[in-house]
Amino acid sequence: MANISQINGLQLTAQSASVASTASYVGPTLTQDLTFNGTLTVTTLNATTSSIQYITSSQFNVSTNVIKLNTTAPLRYGGIEVVDSGSSPFRSGSLLFDSQNNQWIYVHQNTAGSDVTSSVLIMGPQTFNNIGNEITIGTNRLTKGAGGDLGEHITSSNITDTGTVVSINSATQITGSLRGQVSTLSISSNTASVNLSTNNFFTLTLANGTGTNINPTNINPGQTVNILVTQGSAGTGTVTFPTLVKQPSGSLYTGSAIANAIDIVTMIAFDSTNVYVSSVRNMI
């Protein structure tokens, strides 16, 4: 066969797949690169069996910017099917467009005969009449269902997660319970340091005959913290605070002088400088 390097305007039409009872038509073999400067059309008398069976190159390059599928007598599903290595001829995963529901779906079958799973492909926020300038999810924003069409779109919610702080930037309604962890404070050098950035509930047991300075750190505006203070078995432990802790004049909290007494000390912060204290003493 002569080497062919370029053909201008080639159309191949298969008239019959059978040449003789003991032979079949294979067609020409091209041993060099083939370039088409026109349109290549492959047709057959039987449209249901017409196909290009294999492209054996390890890389298939297409220079056009758009590939159109399902253009003749469109079926409901069109897309890409991928065969998992070692599972041929069974398809492992498919990305299909469902033209009836107007959405992309992912379809997966592990092995022949096994269950076929499918799921809607989730997409970002919808942008209308502005291709190339699509809306994206906001930085650090959690996503939420945006509805629209069949509910396959997501968009930014009012919840922000910076990696250290989660913020809810809208009115919040909680239909279940909301609770925080309870941390136990330790005393070192007569000081119980309360890191307000770690929790809102603490417990503290006073040492007999010793004064304990309760020192809040990392104050967060708008925070309320409760400390359950338990007196020692002798009831002789006392409590003091640094000057950043503000108390009612003439009614400073020092701890109930009763063995094993339980007090609740509440700290409220309106800024990052001071906390304001109220207390309920000798709970029984």
**Residue-wise pLDDT tens digits, 215-240:** 999 999 999 999 999 999 999 999 99
> Using an 8 Å Cβ cutoff, are 227 and 202 in contact?
yes
**In the numeric block, which tokens belong to residue 273?**
């400088």
pLDDT number for residue 17? 40
Report the pLDDT value the prediction gives residue 175, as an integer from 0 to 100: 95
According to the model, what pLDDT value does residue 21 have? Answer: 40
Q: How far is the C-alpha of 123 from the C-alpha of 117, rounded, in Å? A: 19
Closest CA to 212 of 238, 176, 186: 238
pLDDT of residue 22: 41
Alpha carbon distance, N-terminus to C-terminus of the chain? 105
Instruction: Note the pLDDT tens digit of each residue in 245-254.
Output: 999 998 999 9
- Return d(Cα 167, Cα 140) in angstroms, integer: 10
Which residues in the chain show pLDDT less than 50? Answer: 1-25, 45
Residue ranges covered by each domain of the chain: 1-58, 182-280
pTM > 0.85: yes or no: no
Q: Please provide the DSSP assignment of 200-263 as one string.
A: SEEEEEPPTT-EEEEEEES--TT-EEEEEEE--TTS--EEE--TTEE--TT-------STT-EE
